[in-house]
């Protein structure tokens, strides 16, 4: 088995980090996870006995929307970190970059340490998500890798459209340990007597929590919603906007913001339906699969990878991104047709349990690493 130096830019547990956690479990005896900031993700790795080290004292200031000037201004921070990563990588067979900032550091380190580079692409490289500078940089560096693992066909297509080498890319969907989703445990949510729609994501404009709040205006008053997640990347203004929206629409007794929670599965089990409302193309959509595994009816915004996961009317439903009225109509249809809705949710649960097993995902990744490195 290859010795891998995994790199990730954040200490927060986002979707890309949870995917990395599942992959690193398979390499815990021969890997190190290097983080560019500290946080709860480090603790999660330690709980699973995965070697981890925080390599930077403060987070890298460059954002997805940043241009060339911001990148140049951060060189004083980036160069020492790149040297640190290059020195460390000589102890491993390959550098496995899990995020774009990790790709930058990994590519520089790879050049100096002569170690192979692998890039796990968890993003759709589009103008909605990245500046032109960052898209060009990501493609330039990823094209020097031995392997690019895309988390969906949508991510792969966007990478190639942006100039990525199609010969490098393999699509591997996120995998999940199925057993935890088979529990019947439920968490109290404080909306008794209502038809509860769950929204599980960090609070961010492109994740579309505001769309669900607007949809509630058009739904029966029996419909309520819980929002699980925090603003992870300095998006507090959006949190205030959501609170104002609740007051404006008179939804105070129909909405709960639960913040970051570890009991995601039992919270999902307590919902009647799960809504995914991203306003821009979703690279994968872990919450969609998680809702399916929980046996919950799932409505997703029809963009990015969502149509790869949901066959409309067969194992879930798709709605036009940002269309609150269409979302409301679909929620009401699910509420009023409970028997048909339950049948579709059961089909989704069965399909997801077969299609997204972590053992299969890790076997695919292992096979590609052995073949390419």
Considering the domain architecture, whether residues 184 and 149 belong to the same structural domain is answered as no
Per the structure, the complete domain to which residue 337 belongs is given by 179-355
Considering the domain architecture, whether residues 43 and 123 belong to the same structural domain is answered as yes
- Which CATH number belongs to the domain containing residue 61 in this structure? 3.40.50.2000
pTM, entire model: 0.91
| pLDDT at position 79 | 80
Considering the domain architecture, whether residues 118 and 201 belong to the same structural domain is answered as no
- pLDDT category, 76, cuts 50, 70, 90? low
Q: Average pLDDT of 273-293? A: 97
What tens digit of pLDDT does each residue of 142-186 get? Answer: 999 999 999 999 999 999 999 999 999 999 999 999 999 998 899
**Distance, CA of 272 to CA of 341 (rounded, Å):** 10
Considering the domain architecture, whether residues 111 and 193 belong to the same structural domain is answered as no
Q: Which residue has the tokens 């929620």?
A: 331
Considering the domain architecture, whether residues 76 and 208 belong to the same structural domain is answered as no
- Looking at the chain, the whole-number percentage of residues with pLDDT higher than 70 is 94
- Looking at the chain, the whole-number percentage of residues with pLDDT higher than 90 is 85
Considering the domain architecture, whether residues 362 and 351 belong to the same structural domain is answered as no
Please tell me the total count of domains within the chain. 2
Considering the domain architecture, whether residues 98 and 231 belong to the same structural domain is answered as no
Considering the domain architecture, whether residues 345 and 235 belong to the same structural domain is answered as yes
What tens digit of pLDDT does each residue of 295-350 get? Answer: 999 999 999 999 999 999 999 999 999 999 999 999 999 999 999 999 999 999 99
| pLDDT at position 65 | 47
Considering the domain architecture, whether residues 146 and 249 belong to the same structural domain is answered as no
Query: What mean pLDDT value characterizes the chain?
Result: 93
Considering the domain architecture, whether residues 116 and 198 belong to the same structural domain is answered as no
Q: Which residue has the tokens 């409302």?
A: 277
| pLDDT at position 69 | 39
- pLDDT category, 118, cuts 50, 70, 90? very high
Considering the domain architecture, whether residues 221 and 344 belong to the same structural domain is answered as yes
**Distance, CA of 264 to CA of 266 (rounded, Å):** 6
Q: Is 258 exposed, middle or buried (0-12, 13-18, 19+ CB in 10 A)?
A: middle
Least confident of 65-69, 189-193, 247-251, 291-295: 65-69
Considering the domain architecture, whether residues 229 and 257 belong to the same structural domain is answered as yes
């Amino acid at each position: 088995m290859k010795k891998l130096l995994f790199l990730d830019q954040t200490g927060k547990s986002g979707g890309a980090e949870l995917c990395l956690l599942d992959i690193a479990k398979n390499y815990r005896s021969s890997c190190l996870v290097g983080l560019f900031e500290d946080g709860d993700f480090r603790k999660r790795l330690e709980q699973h006995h995965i070697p981890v080290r925080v390599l930077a004292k403060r987070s890298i200031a460059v954002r997805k929307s940043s241009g060339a000037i911001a990148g140049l201004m951060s060189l004083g921070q980036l160069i020492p970190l790149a040297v640190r990563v290059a020195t460390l990588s000589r102890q491993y067979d390959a550098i496995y970059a899990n995020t774009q900032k990790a790709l930058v550091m990994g590519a520089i380190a790879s050049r100096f340490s002569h170690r192979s580079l692998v890039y796990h692409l968890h993003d759709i490289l589009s103008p909605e998500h990245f500046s032109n500078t960052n898209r060009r940089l990501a493609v330039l560096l990823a094209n020097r890798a031995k392997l690019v693992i895309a988390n969906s066909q949508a991510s792969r297509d966007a990478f190639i459209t942006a100039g990525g080498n199609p010969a490098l890319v393999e699509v591997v969907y996120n995998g999940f340990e199925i057993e935890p989703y088979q529990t019947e445990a439920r968490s109290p949510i404080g909306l008794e007597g209502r038809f509860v729609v769950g929204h599980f994501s960090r609070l961010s404009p492109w994740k579309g929590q505001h769309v669900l709040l607007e949809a509630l205006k058009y739904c029966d008053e029996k419909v309520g919603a819980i929002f699980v997640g925090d603003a992870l990347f300095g998006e507090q203004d959006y949190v205030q906007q959501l609170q104002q929206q609740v007051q404006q629409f008179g939804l105070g007794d129909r909405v709960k913001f639960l913040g970051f929670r570890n009991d995601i599965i039992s919270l999902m089990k307590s919902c009647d339906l799960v809504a995914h409302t991203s306003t821009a193309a979703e690279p994968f959509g872990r919450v969609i699969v998680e809702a399916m595994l929980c046996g919950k009816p799932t409505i997703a915004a029809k963009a990015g990878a969502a149509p790869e996961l949901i066959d409309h009317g067969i194992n879930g439903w798709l709605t036009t991104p940002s269309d609150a009225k269409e979302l409301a109509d679909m929620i009401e249809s699910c509420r009023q047709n409970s028997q048909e809705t339950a049948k579709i949710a059961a089909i989704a649960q069965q399909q997801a349990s077969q299609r997204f097993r972590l053992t299969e995902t890790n076997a695919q990744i292992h096979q590609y690493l052995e073949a390419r490195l």
